[in-house]
Amino acid sequence: MSDRNTRKQHGGPARPARSKLEQFFANPTDTPLADAFTSKGAVHPFVGMQPVPQPRWNAVWNEIAAIPRTGKSVAYIHIPFCENHCLFCGFYQNAWRKDAGPTYVDMVVNEMRRSKDQIWQSKGPIHAVYFGGGTPSALDAPQLAQLLKAVHKYLPLAPDCEITVEGRIHNFTDAKIKACLDNGANRISIGVQTFKERLRNRMGRKAGRAQIIKFLQSLVETDRATVVIDLIYGFPEQSLEDWENDVKTAISTGIHGIDLYSLNLIGSTPLVTAIEKGKFEMPPEMSEKGEYYRRGTRMMHDARWQGISSTHWRRDTRERNFYNLMVKSGANCLAFGSGAGGLLNGYSFRNDGNLESYMTKAMAGEKTFSFLMKQPDEHALFNRIKGEMELGRLNVTWLAEQCGDKWDSAISPLIRQWGSCGLLTYDGDWIDLTLAGRFWQVTMTVSLLEWIKLTLAQQIAA
């Protein structure tokens, strides 16, 4: 879905710290879009985070929950059900059962209600709310309405709060759309992934091409919400021509925003198993995916869409992409529901992804954590770096001031090396990522954070 890579913000460990600067260098090559690095990093790295021992979870939570939030804040509500497991998806949790919806929604609403007067929830505006999953559109219309009403009742929403509901076309009925729009949702995110019917069918997507186009055009014509979709490149059996047709079709529907994502092969997914059994060809290598990105980016430019992040484009200013951009720059994130990940006052947490365990804890009025981690002391620095890099730029004058005497000796050489490899250019106080730099942005960001963390740790030790 549109923010799937965003909302799984606490999903894996960082790479081990490395001792030599050269290990973070890009490969010197005439084709940086294809060959600058061998792999991409994690979207939300765990650089410098420290786990809080479970016996201290309640004490630490009580401490940080008593501190008013500062800066931007968002909220995430997780719906952990899907009607089927799409082959490529690594976020599947529970099979959808119609009778599970009312009880689960009641639990989530009770979560919000119980803490409505606590400082961590009640003080400070919420600028964006995201209903993700799983598949929120699997819920019935009354349940969607109930959740949206609860958000408005129990969360201190900013007047211009962006409220996104994501879903799948085959179960997003007119009644569900109406329930969302009538109860304050102002952004609908649809996981199209590809318009190619044969590929959709093989990946477990149920709606056909014509149905998708009709649905999107109808939703746009209501003129009551921003409409955004995901497209994925790098599927097995997806040619460059297929990809261009996907982007062209998406632009033609009149939607307001598009994410162009690279397929991430996750080991636990059915797609990996199918490839291993020879049911699918191997997908394109990283060295080939850059061309998909280049062509998609060129088509967005030619249609005069504005790129507002490394992966996201908008037709006009109706699309703001608040949630995605704020989470990636370290905004506080209030999280509700089984499997929801959040961040509060320098601590990252995830609610229990085991539905039965989550329900037991929620019914007892307990916190539903599955982990709690302290962000590094440098988290404010790291968050600004992540936020700016996501926008394709970085203020190096500011960064030099933060790094002090380590800038010239340690940090600047890394950035200069990336520039020599065609990944960035200098413009006054700023560096701007090139097309190749935007493609490899996540890898570069992770490497920069790891190297700064290691450098500052050495400085303290000295």
- Cα–Cα distance measured from residue 268 to residue 287, given in angstroms and rounded to the nearest whole number: 23
Q: What pLDDT shows up at residue 45?
A: 60
Q: What pLDDT shows up at residue 300?
A: 98
- Cα–Cα distance measured from residue 89 to residue 268, given in angstroms and rounded to the nearest whole number: 9
356 Cβ partners below 8 Å, 6+ apart? none
Mean pLDDT of 79-92: 82
- Cα–Cα distance measured from residue 313 to residue 199, given in angstroms and rounded to the nearest whole number: 24
Closest CA to 362 of 346, 333, 340, 345: 340
Do 245 and 233 form a contact (C-beta atoms < 8 A)?
A: no
Candidate ranges 84-88, 300-304, 364-368; pick with highest mean pLDDT: 300-304
What residue spans define the domains of the chain? 16-46+378-461, 50-328
Q: What is the pTM of this model?
A: 0.92
Strand-pair category, 94-95 with 81-82: parallel
- Cα–Cα distance measured from residue 383 to residue 449, given in angstroms and rounded to the nearest whole number: 10
Q: Which residues on neighbouring strands pair with residue 78, listed in sequence order?
A: 132
Tell me, what DSSP letter sits at residue 284? Answer: P
- Cα–Cα distance measured from residue 309 to residue 311, given in angstroms and rounded to the nearest whole number: 5
Mean pLDDT of 366-379: 92
Do 172 and 136 form a contact (C-beta atoms < 8 A)?
A: no
Beta strands in 84-183 (DSSP E): 94-95, 126-133, 157-167
12 Cβ partners below 8 Å, 6+ apart? 42, 46
Encoded tokens for 335: 């999280």
Q: How many of the other CB atoms lie within 10 Å of CB of 100?
A: 17
Model pLDDT for residues 182-226, shown as the tens digit of each residue: 999 999 999 999 999 999 988 888 889 999 999 999 999 999 999
- Cα–Cα distance measured from residue 46 to residue 346, given in angstroms and rounded to the nearest whole number: 13
Is a pLDDT exceeding 50 seen at residue 7? Answer: no
**Reduced to 3 states, what is the DSSP secondary structure of residue 321?**
coil
Model pLDDT for residues 111-169, shown as the tens digit of each residue: 999 999 999 999 999 999 999 999 999 999 999 999 999 999 999 999 999 999 999 99
What are phi and psi for residue 189, nearest 5 degrees? Answer: -115, 125
Is a pLDDT exceeding 80 seen at residue 43? Answer: no
**Reduced to 3 states, what is the DSSP secondary structure of residue 396?**
helix
Tell me, what DSSP letter sits at residue 408? Answer: I
Encoded tokens for 70: 């500062």
- Cα–Cα distance measured from residue 350 to residue 362, given in angstroms and rounded to the nearest whole number: 14
Q: What pLDDT shows up at residue 458?
A: 66
- Cα–Cα distance measured from residue 346 to residue 136, given in angstroms and rounded to the nearest whole number: 28
Find the farthest-apart pair of alpha carbons in the chain and give their distance in angstroms, rounded: 64
Does domain 50-328 bear CATH number 3.80.30.20? yes
402 Cβ partners below 8 Å, 6+ apart? 381
- Cα–Cα distance measured from residue 54 to residue 375, given in angstroms and rounded to the nearest whole number: 16
What are phi and psi for residue 161, nearest 5 degrees? Answer: -60, 130
The length of the chain in residues reads 462
Kindly write down the DSSP assignment for every residue of 157-186, as one continuous string.
Answer: EEEEEEEEEEE-GGG--HHHHHHHHHTT--
Is a pLDDT exceeding 60 seen at residue 8? Answer: no
Model pLDDT for residues 279-310, shown as the tens digit of each residue: 988 899 888 999 999 999 999 999 999 999 99
Model pLDDT for residues 257-269, shown as the tens digit of each residue: 999 999 988 888 8
Place of tokens 């969360």: 155
Encoded tokens for 394: 């970085």
Mean pLDDT of 375-402: 95
Closest CA to 203 of 283, 125, 307: 283
